[in-house]
Structure 1
Amino acid sequence: MLKTTIASALILFGGVASAQITPQPALQVKHPEKTLFTDIVNSGGTLIAVGKHGTVVTSKDGKIWQQAKVPVQSLLTAVTSLESDKSWACGHDSSILFSSDNGQTWQIQQYLPQQQKPCLDIEFVDENTGFAVGAYGMFYQTNDGGKSWEKRFIDDFVHPDDKEYLQGLKEDDPQAYEEETKFILPHFNRLLIHREQLYLAGEMGLVAHSKDMGKSWQRLDEFYPGSFFSVAPYGNEQIVVAGLRGNAFIAHREDLEFSQIDIPVKATINSVVNFNDSLYLLANSGFLFSYDNGQVKHSQLSSGHAILSAVTFKNKLVLATEKGLKIWEAKK
């Protein structure tokens, strides 16, 4: 449960991080591509990977990597890109970073270590509208490309009686409202934007759906009590969620009635990616599960290193693992 361990440990150590309010730039090292990486994206032919201690690396071929200049040493957990000149990353200390030069240099858009909450995913609809989600119900939205981020509390996920109570508290005592809502919601682990709708997956079996770009949310009835770390499309019509101990589920986007995918190994699934007409579920202990029309096959890295994320690149997968970046090609 690598992602769970990383998030939990650094939340506990948040008090130490918050004492150092001024961010420090990531250290430049000899082999930056060999550290822990949590996410990777293909930005118009340039790979951008993010990870431990604020490390960001870029590559044009998936083999030779260059370290970017990053103004924080926080663990970075997610990266997204719309075009070669517009990329965002987020991570611990509620940090959000922006790059306008294909990932070579980064600027801080948000850095709030005193909140002791990591941002766990970031996605953009277009160059202006984006969302950042994370621990204890963290939910930020921007409408100006990240120049400003507005914090929101998703009260659709609380009991109606509590919702009414919180609304009254917000009006009568804003400070008490902030304290009351600080840790009331589960962790939001992953956000998906698909066909103009939003899907959210998180802790304690949370799967939610928004048809109006996050203005309102419907939490689905619980079909699994454990945490989900990934939500992804399978083709144009299906949605997959996956997480702890190899638990994965699939549903048609119209009804969102999820049925379980039979994963043969109980390894926590960290991410899901479409590749060569199949769905690949990437897991701890180096497992890759391929799903194709109800059939599941699996491969395993010889190193056994946990795979945190992957991206398609030149008909191969580039894997972000706990011990660096690796090119992987499906066996025929």
Structure 2
Amino acid sequence: MISREPHNNRNLSLAGAKPARTCFTAVRTCLMTACLMAVMHSVFAASTSTVSEVLDTAAQSVDERLSVPVLSVARVGDALIAVGPHGVIQRSTDGGQSWKQMPSPVSTDLVQVRFVDDRNGWIVGHDSLVMHSSDGGQNWKVQLDGRSLLKLLNDYYQPLADKGNDEAARVLNETATASSSSATPGVLAAPLLDVLFDPQGNGFVVGAFGMVLHSTDNGAHWQPWVERSDNDRRMHLYGLAQRNGVFYISGEQGLLLKQDVAAERFTHVELPYAGTLFGVTALDDLLLVHGLRGNLYASRDDGQQWQKIETGITSSLVSIVKQGDRWLVVGQGGELASLDRNALTVGKLRAAKGGEVYGASDSGKPGALVVSRFSGAGVLDIATAE
């Protein structure tokens, strides 16, 4: 089982919300291509496992002679962690030149990996999965999955619904419908797409169909925030960023949300762009959002006014990465651009060869970027690319 993806439909809800996909989203979160199926079945034994089984079954060992698709890569101290389909987790200690498979307690598809310091990191993926590592990515423990999330939503919203809270009742209804229509009853199988914590242990998880979960203890406990966001249409939520304890969420159809800490909710930020936003970057003096067809927008006043940055990139933007003293914009097609954060202009770099790029990370080595691809994690030499 490679993936369980949302399909197209404009009737949006947890029960079967189906916001529009893009090529990047379909590839990164689902990888539903015949080519991938052929490759993955040559790496792993063919499987018809149920959702419950992939959540209870450790990832199989990878045949090191074959390339394994990677969906996300992140730097942690002097190491790199890469994740992908079938629960595969890999670790590199030489800047991405070689990789070693790490133990993984699940065999569901892994979508995103993030670290907050040299020890603590999180992975999110399909089947509402959240995993945590406290040793730099060498070992991982499940914090949440589609079974525990279903119980969490019911336990949280039922008392509120019983008191006449209409929003809680709506979420309960959506949850019940989603559960009853799941291929595996008792499991919410929708993918979680990003996770982010601050150094104090305060963080969020976001995902398909408007899912938002909040934790104040590094993910040991979670509180649903589905109804605490200005996202009534349950748009997919793709990216997270934070600065000074305030979190931002990017999503479908130009959706950008900012945390109102006092009100304990996410409020809508107006944008002059209605296309999907795959990511948001929050710097001290600059807010950036990136999405389809090379679209990149910047704001110096926390979203009050926006300026479009002409990137010269035609494919979707998948990452903005700090590499040394510069910021690099990475396109799905392998295009690279260097961002001047003062002038808000970009210098186009030489395009990277090797196929579509799903994400990128600083490698820890000057002039080198690590990207996640269908063919695995690869290192790009950008020192002489300008």
TM-score between both structures, scaled by the size of structure 2 = 0.72
Distance 2:266 2:208 in 1: 18
Closer, same or farther in 2 for the Cα pair 1:230/1:144, shift >3 Å?
A: same
Distance in 2 of aligned mates of 1:245 and 1:49:
26
Question: Residues 179-328 of structure 1: matches in 2 within 5 Å?
Answer: 184-212=233-261, 215-234=264-283, 236-292=284-340, 293=343, 294-315=345-366, 316-328=368-380
1:6 aligned partner = 27
Letter in 1 for 2:209: Y
Partner of 1:168: none
Native 8 Å contact 1:197 1:213 kept in 2: no
Q: Per-residue displacement from partner, 1:164-203 (whole Å, max 9, x unpaired)?
A: xxxxxxxxxxxxxxxxxxxx41011001012222111111
Q: Which of structure 1's runs of 4+ aligned residues deviate more than 6 A?
A: none
Cα 1:279–1:256 shift into 2, 3 Å: farther
Cα distance in 2 for partners of 1:213, 1:60 equals: 42
- Which one of 122, 126, 139 corresponds to residue 88 of structure 1? 122
Change (3 A) 1:2 1:106: farther
Deviation at 1:23, TM superposition (A): 2.5
Deviations 1:81-120 (A, max 9, x none): 2333322111111000111222112111111062121010
> Are the equivalent residues in 2 in contact too, given 1:232–1:272 (CA < 8 A)?
yes
Preserved CA contact (<8 Å) 2:313 2:331:
no
What is residue 83 of structure 2 aligned with on the other side?
A: 50
SS of alignment partner, residue 27 of structure 2: helix
Q: Which residue of the partner structure matches residue 24 of structure 1? A: 57
Q: Do 1:250 and 1:261's aligned partners in 2 also have CA atoms closer than 8 Å?
A: yes
Question: Per-residue displacement from partner, 1:199-249 (whole Å, max 9, x unpaired)?
Answer: 111111101212428822221124211111111135x31111111111111
Contact 2:254 2:274 in 1 (8 A): yes
Corresponding residue pairs, total = 304
Structure 2 vs 1, CA of residues 269 and 84 (structure 1 numbering), >3 Å: closer, same or farther?
A: same
Mapped contact 1:119–1:133 kept (Cα < 8 A): yes
Query: Match for residue 101 of structure 1?
Result: 135
Secondary structure of the equivalent of 1:4? helix
Q: Mean alpha-carbon deviation: is it higher for 242-251 or for 17-26? A: 17-26
Q: Which amino acid aligns with 2:334?
A: G
Match of 1:122 among 176, 195, 199: 195
Corresponding residue number in structure 1 for 2:101: 67
Letter of the aligned partner of 2:197 in structure 1? F
- d(CA) in 1 for partners of 2:374, 2:58: 22
- Residue in structure 1 matched with residue 14 of structure 2 by the alignment: none
Q: Distance in 2 between matches of 1:33 and 1:46?
A: 22
Q: Return the alpha-carbon distance in structure 2 between the equivalents of residues 212 and 311 of structure 1.
A: 31
Distance 1:256 1:74, change over 3 A: farther
What SS does structure 1 have at the residue aligned with 2:264?
Answer: coil
Question: Equivalents in 1 of 2:120, 2:110: separation in Å?
Answer: 17
* 1:250 counterpart letter in structure 2: A
Q: Higher mean Cα deviation, 254-263 or 61-70? A: 254-263
How far off its partner does 1:302 sit? 2.0
Distance change (3 Å), C-alpha of 1:22 and 1:220: closer
Decide whether the 8 Å contact of 1:49 with 1:57 is kept in 2: yes
Relative distance call for 1:310 and 1:8 in structure 2 (3 A) is closer
Change (3 A) 1:127 1:28: farther
User: What's the offset of the Cα at 1:329?
Assistant: 2.6
Q: Pick closer, same or farther for the CA change 1:150–1:282 going to 2, 3 Å.
A: same
CA–CA distance in 2 between the matches of 1:107 and 1:268? 33
User: CA contact under 8 A between 1:95 and 1:119: conserved in structure 2?
Assistant: yes
In the TM superposition, residue 156 of structure 1 has moved relative to its aligned partner by: 3.9
Taking the aligned partners of 2:194 and 2:260, their CA distance within structure 1 comes to: 19
Q: Sequence identity of aligned pairs in percent?
A: 26
Change in Cα spacing, 1:295 to 1:152, as seen in structure 2 (3 Å) is closer
Cα separation, partners in 2 of 1:311 and 1:254, compared to 1, 3 Å:
same
Gaps of 5+ in 1: 160-183
User: Which amino acid in 2 is paired with 1:288?
Assistant: L
Give me the whole-angstrom Cα distance separating, in 2, the residues matched to 1:331 and 1:322: 24
Match of 1:144 in 2: 217
